[in-house]
Amino acid sequence: MNDFTYQTTFVAAAVERLLTLLDNDSWSPTFGCAHPAYWRDKTVEMADMRRQELMLPLALLYRRDYPGSCWRGDARLLRAASALLAFWVRNRYDDGSMDEWYKGERAFAAAAFSTFAVARTLGLLAEHLEPDLLRRARRGLARTAGWLARRNDLFKSNHQAVGVAALAWAARQLDDPAWEVEARRKLSRLLATQTREGWFPELGHVDPGYTFLTVEYVGMALSLWQETGEGGNAMVRAMEFACGWVHPDLTLGDEYGVCHNPYLSRIAAILMTPRSPLAARLVDRWQERSSGFAGLASTLGDDLRLTRWAFQPLLAWDFLNGVEPGLKGIPLMPLPLPLEPGGKQKEAIFSEAGLIRLDIGSCRGVFAPVAGGLVRLFGPGGATLTDGGYVLAQDGCIINMFGYNRQRPMRHEPPCHEVTIFMAPVRKFFPSLTQRLILRLLCTTATGSRWTRNGIDWIRRRKATPINQSSANLKGGTSPWRVIRRVVPGIDEVEIQDHLLFDRPEAISQLSMITREDPEPWRTRPVLELFSGLPARTHALQVIKRWQWKCGRWQLAIIMDPKI
């Protein structure tokens, strides 16, 4: 089956599982809650209100036919969607705001995403809901839309984009043009943040996955308004940037962005098809084949994501088949990375994003200074190799080159590209009990919550991490371990010249090179296994290796004796 059919079938098959996530006891005060850790396990003190967005996929499955679905008209889905909606109405703050990650958060994202889901659900189920629930839901939607209209979240562009779509659909369901005016104001402010390279800032940085999501929600608002204009032009530019990093297997490297989001939006690609040849080609590829579970793992791979994003494959199917506003295609253009007949990848340097597409003949490659100098190579037939640099084990601590950092010094002297990377100890973010208590205390009022959120956002920008949405390594600063990496592309080969510099002598026995051949995990190769005659310790080491495409795989064809 093709990708669109695969994904709708996956969602339809997950319905029974989704229904078990709800509190189905109609006598319970948490009836309709979709957050089991709150209503069942009692391990959190608030319900994540974004999980209530499950109402939208259930409403879609109840009203429409999809491949692999036998749920149309099933009374269980109507009951569950009604319960989800009722809990959403009951469990918000008086001003219309709500929490997502912690008590007192009053999150813009929770209000925006759930407003969109509620508005779309009312459009599907209005005539099937109890009159009292419908009245309360409309009143609650208006209050939350009002809270949303008074605020912007340009720190995370995808949130602002969702706010645009949420208010656009609230205007339609409430028959109130004032919300559309506010949606257009939000869109104008969002467009002003677009970079010259086409992406929109996330935490002050780039994230291709969230670029796809931004195009998705703004595109849905534009399709509702049946117009493009300046907003459409901006979304085409963003789509062209995001499509440039799609892998031959129709996945996206999570290392390329600050939030490590590998999402590829089917909805965005379909909506941009009339104006973007790259989007049209992406849709065409999905109609030819499926990327399987890897293509949905980031949005549907667990209960948290499934409750929030199960609607996406369904709406993608609807947009593709004209159930939602219809679209017409344009001539296709080969995607930059996928290896297609007639396709030719030219070198492309995105200095602001810290990403480079390499020209290596009939193969493809990405050099990502932003991701610690990662080099990823693609060969015909889909074989992928990733060179992640080096790992140093020291006193029980792991030091590596990973960690998102868009400010690394780069130089480009064709055909060479160079970046300086400070290796850093692996550090993950885990809040202490004291930090959690302080957070709870500060967020007891709306004002305290707002200032606390500003402080958290300052930390997220400085550390280049979303904190609560990624387990990636925190960004490090300068350190005693430095790597100057030069990448020299050739014809079906890439030479990597690494100059390792240490402030003090380091044990060579603790130094390893790391590579990965998909779908295998990282492979660690001690430097001592590759070279003989090295000293026990050294301040510096220069290694030159050459990856060549031979016999259907990437091979380390030449590795020169290191210079000490």
Q: Model confidence over 69-96: pLDDT tens digits?
A: 999 999 999 999 999 999 999 999 999 9
Q: What is the distance between the terminal CA atoms of the chain, rounded to a whole angstrom? A: 55
Q: Return the bridge partners of 377, or none.
A: 365, 385
Is 526 domain-assigned? Answer: yes
Cβ distance 290 to 1 under 8 Å? Answer: yes
Q: Which of 300, 320, 340 is the last residue of a domain?
A: 320
Share of the chain above pLDDT 90, in %: 73
Shared domain for 315 and 292, answered yes or no, is yes
CATH number for position 155: 1.50.10.100
Could you tell me if 257 and 406 lie in one domain? no
Q: What is the mean pLDDT of the chain?
A: 91
Domain closes at, from 268, 303, 320: 320
The residue among 302, 320, 338 that closes a domain is: 320
Specify the pLDDT at position 344. 67
The DSSP line for 461-524 is HHHT--SSS--PPPPP-S-SEEEEEEEEE-SSEEEEEEEEEEEEEEEGGGEEEEEEETTS--EE
d(CA 85, CA 33): 9
107: β partners: none
Mean pLDDT of the region 220-236: 91
Same domain, 438 and 422: no
Phi then psi for 68, rounded to 5 degrees? 80, 0
**pLDDT per position as a tens digit, 307-348:** 999 999 999 999 999 887 654 555 667 888 888 766 667 899
Better-scored residue on pLDDT, 228 or 328 = 228
Contact 438, 101 (CB under 8 A): no
Q: What is the pLDDT of residue 439?
A: 82
Cα(20)–Cα(327) distance, rounded to whole angstroms?
37
Count of domains for the chain: 3
The answer to whether residue 329 is domain-embedded is no
- Domain that residue 376 falls in: 348-427+475-563
Are residues 134 and 69 part of one domain?
yes
Q: Tell me: pLDDT of 436 over 90.
A: no
How many CA atoms does the CB half-sphere of 494 hold within 13 Å? 27
What's the pLDDT at 499? Answer: 94
Is residue 35 domain-resident? yes
Q: Is the pLDDT of residue 459 over 60?
A: yes
Q: What angle do CA 336, 342, 347 make, to 5 degrees?
A: 35
Asked whether residue 458 is assigned to any structural domain, the reply reads yes
Lowest mean pLDDT among 219-233, 426-440, 456-470: 456-470
User: CA-to-CA distance for 445 and 433, rounded, in angstroms?
Assistant: 20
In DSSP notation, 142-169 reads HHHHHHHHT---TTBHHHHHHHHHHHHH
**Are 65 and 197 in a shared domain?**
yes
- What is the reported pLDDT for 85? 98
According to the per-residue pLDDT averaged within each range, which of 48-52, 321-325, 361-365 is highest?
48-52
Give tens-digit pLDDT for 505-556. 999 999 999 999 988 999 999 998 888 778 899 999 999 999 999 988 999 8
Q: What is the distance, to the nearest Å, from the Cα of residue 188 to the centroid of all Cα atoms in its chain?
A: 23
Is 333 inside any structural domain? no
Asked which of 205-219, 384-398, 447-461, 525-539 is least confident by mean pLDDT, the reply is: 447-461
**Confidence (pLDDT) at 328:** 52
Q: Which of 496, 489, 493 is nearest to 554 (CA)?
A: 493
Give, as one character, the DSSP assignment of residue 51. Answer: G
Same domain, 420 and 450: no
Residue 75 is predicted with a pLDDT of 97
Chain-centroid distance of CA 545 in Å reads 32
Q: Which of 202, 296, 300, 304 is nearest to 256 (CA)?
A: 202
Helices (H), 175-250: 177-191, 208-225, 229-243
In a domain, 485, yes or no: yes
Give the three-state DSSP class for 61.
helix
Q: Domain check: are 173 and 230 in the same one?
A: yes
Round the CA-based radius of gyration of the chain to a whole number and report it: 25
Residue with tokens 């890439």: 494
Whether residues 196 and 261 share a domain: the answer is yes
Structure tokens, 428: 């993950």
- For the ranges 4-8, 157-161, 265-269, 439-443, which has the lowest average pLDDT? 439-443
Whether residue 277 is found in the same domain as residue 402: no
Let me know whether 81 and 124 are in one domain: yes
Could you tell me if 314 and 455 lie in one domain?
no
Answer whether residue 341 is part of any domain: no
Measured distance CA(263)–CA(252) in Å, rounded: 7
533: left (phi over 0), alpha (psi -120 to 50) or beta: left
- 299, 356: one domain: no
CA–CA distance, 295 with 110 (Å, rounded to integer) = 25
Whether the bond into 341 is cis, omega within 30 of 0? no
CA angle 437, 441, 446 (to 5 degrees): 140
Residue 282's pLDDT is what? 94
Residue 334 located in a structural domain: no
Give percent above pLDDT 70 in the chain.
96
Spatial separation of the C-alpha atoms in residues 529 and 512, rounded to whole Å: 9
CB 554 within 8 A of CB 547: yes
